């Protein structure tokens, strides 16, 4: 039995129940006020959106607020979105990244351009495994010190495993620019982690 769409009385899946509706189809229903479609869309993308926001901001609480704000934009602006070959996830991640970077910039501007130490949250989150807690904190601190675009390239491509092409669309830059940012970002991250005393080479000569 397919999921029922509130207000439509039609199944949320097609005639073949094993086929999930595409994001675009769900978004079209969201534009008509369909709450079930909105929830399904959120279930698909909230976790990764949270991961991107959390790595950008360095803490879970701010990341939750950013993703909620992004989902509010999805609900209120669904009718204005036209795919034109773009994926919904790309659009959502772009909104998340922009909202997160706005938050990062806000306190920095208020502090007169001080270093971005606030980005790093030294306290492990509830989902932080002991195994990765130390290196996660070191990475958060290192990311917080990196230039914005390099940081986002590393977050999106290296940590969240987006392709360079998709990350480039999220950041609204060319693929070659994204590749350059990623290479420089990874080298910068390596340098900062090594300087922080982390052995990344496993003792390799």
Partner 1 sequence: MKRKRFLHLLDLEGSDVSRWPTEDRAAALALMARSPDARRAHARAVAEDLALAPARRSAVSSDSVARVMAAVARIPEQAARSMPVEPDEPTWRWRPSLVWLAASAVFGVVVGAYLERPAPSAADIGSLLTATLSSGIFGS
For binding to partner 1 (CB under 8 A), which residues are involved? 33, 35, 38-39, 42-43, 46-47, 50-51, 54-55, 60, 63-64, 67-68, 71-72, 75-76, 125-129, 131-132, 135-136, 139, 158-159, 161, 164, 179, 182-183, 186-187, 190, 198-205
DSSP 8-class letter at 18: T
Q: Which is nearer to partner 1, 51 or 108 (CB)?
A: 51
CB 141 to partner 1: min, Å: 12
Q: Which is nearer to partner 1, 8 or 159 (CB)?
A: 159
Kindly state the tokens that stand for 205. Answer: 């000569």
Q: Backbone dihedral region of 40: left (phi > 0), alpha (psi from -120 to 50 degrees) or beta?
A: alpha
CB 64 to partner 1: min, Å: 5
Asked if 143 contacts 31 with a C-beta cutoff of 8 angstroms, the reply is: no
Q: Which is nearer to partner 1, 108 or 190 (CB)?
A: 190
Q: Which is nearer to partner 1, 40 or 104 (CB)?
A: 40
CB 184 to partner 1: min, Å: 8
DSSP result, 30-49:
HHTT-HHHHHHHHHHHHHHH
| Closest of 151, 25, 139, 12 to residue 88, by C-alpha | 25
Kindly state the tokens that stand for 162. Answer: 């987006």
């Amino acid at each position: 039995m397919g999921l029922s769409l509130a207000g439509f009385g039609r199944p949320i899946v097609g005639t073949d129940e094993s086929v999930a509706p595409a994001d675009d189809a769900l978004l079209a229903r969201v534009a008509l006020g369909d709450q079930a479609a909105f929830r399904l869309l959120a279930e698909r993308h909230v976790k990764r959106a949270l991961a991107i926001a959390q790595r950008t901001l360095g803490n879970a609480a701010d990341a939750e607020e950013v993703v909620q704000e992004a989902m509010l934009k999805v609900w209120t602006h669904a009718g204005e979105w036209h795919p034109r070959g773009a994926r919904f996830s790309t659009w959502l991640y772009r909104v998340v990244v922009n909202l997160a970077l706005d938050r990062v910039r806000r306190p920095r501007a208020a502090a007169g351009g001080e270093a971005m130490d606030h980005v790093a949250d030294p306290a492990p989150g509830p989902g932080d495994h002991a195994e990765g807690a130390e290196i996660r904190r070191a990475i958060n601190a290192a990311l917080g010190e990196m230039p914005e675009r390099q940081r986002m390239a590393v977050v999106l491509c290296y940590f969240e495993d987006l392709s360079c092409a998709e990350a480039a669309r999220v950041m609204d830059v060319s693929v070659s620019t994204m590749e350059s940012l990623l290479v420089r970002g990874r080298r910068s991250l390596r340098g900062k982690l090594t300087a922080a005393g982390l052995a990344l080479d496993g003792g390799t000569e």
